[in-house]
Amino acid sequence: MDTIKRIGLVLACICLFFACKNENQETQSTTPVENTEEKVTERSGQAFIQDDEGTPNCLQIAIGSPDHKTLVAAVQAAQVENALVNVGPLTVFAPTDAAFAALPEGTIDNLLKSENKNTLANILKYHVTPGNLSTTILTKLPKLGQANNQSVQVEVVDGKPVIGGANIIASIPAGNGIVHVIDKVLLPPTED
Q: Provide the pLDDT confidence category of residue 86 given band limits of 50, 70 and 90.
A: confident
Is the model's pLDDT at 138 over the cut of 80?
yes
For every residue of 18-66, DSSP letters joined together read: HHHHHHHHHHHHTS-HHHH--PPPSS-SGGG---SSSPP-HHHHHHH-T
Per-residue model confidence as pLDDT tens digits over 141-168: 999 999 999 999 999 999 999 999 999 9
> Which ranges of the chain does DSSP label H, i.e. alpha helix?
2-29, 33-36, 58-64, 69-78, 81-84, 97-101, 107-111, 117-125, 135-138
Residue 156 sits in a domain whose CATH number is 2.30.180.10
State the pLDDT at residue 24.
42
Q: Is residue 177 in a domain?
A: yes
Q: Is residue 69 in a domain?
A: yes
Q: Is residue 32 in a domain?
A: no
Q: Is 108 helix (H, G, I), strand (E, B) or coil?
A: helix
Instruction: Measure Cα distances from 74 to 21, 88, 135, 154, 157 in Å.
Output: 52, 21, 25, 24, 29
State the pLDDT at residue 84.
87
Distance CA 120, CA 110 (A): 10
Mean local confidence (pLDDT), 13-41 = 41
Distance CA 17, CA 33 (A): 27
Domain with 129, as residue range(s), is 55-182
DSSP state at residue 139:
T
Per-residue model confidence as pLDDT tens digits over 105-134: 999 999 999 999 999 999 999 999 999 999
pTM of structure? 0.72
State the pLDDT at residue 190.
83
The whole-chain average pLDDT of the chain stands at 81
Q: Is residue 64 in a domain?
A: yes
Q: Domain tally for the chain?
A: 1
What is the total residue count of the chain? 192
Give the other-Cβ count within 10 Å of 135's Cβ: 14
Q: Is residue 15 in a domain?
A: no
Is the model's pLDDT at 35 over the cut of 50?
no
DSSP state at residue 154:
E
Q: Is residue 44 in a domain?
A: no
Per-residue model confidence as pLDDT tens digits over 37-47: 343 345 445 44
Q: Is residue 62 in a domain?
A: yes
Per-residue model confidence as pLDDT tens digits over 55-78: 899 999 999 999 999 999 999 999
Q: Is residue 112 in a domain?
A: yes
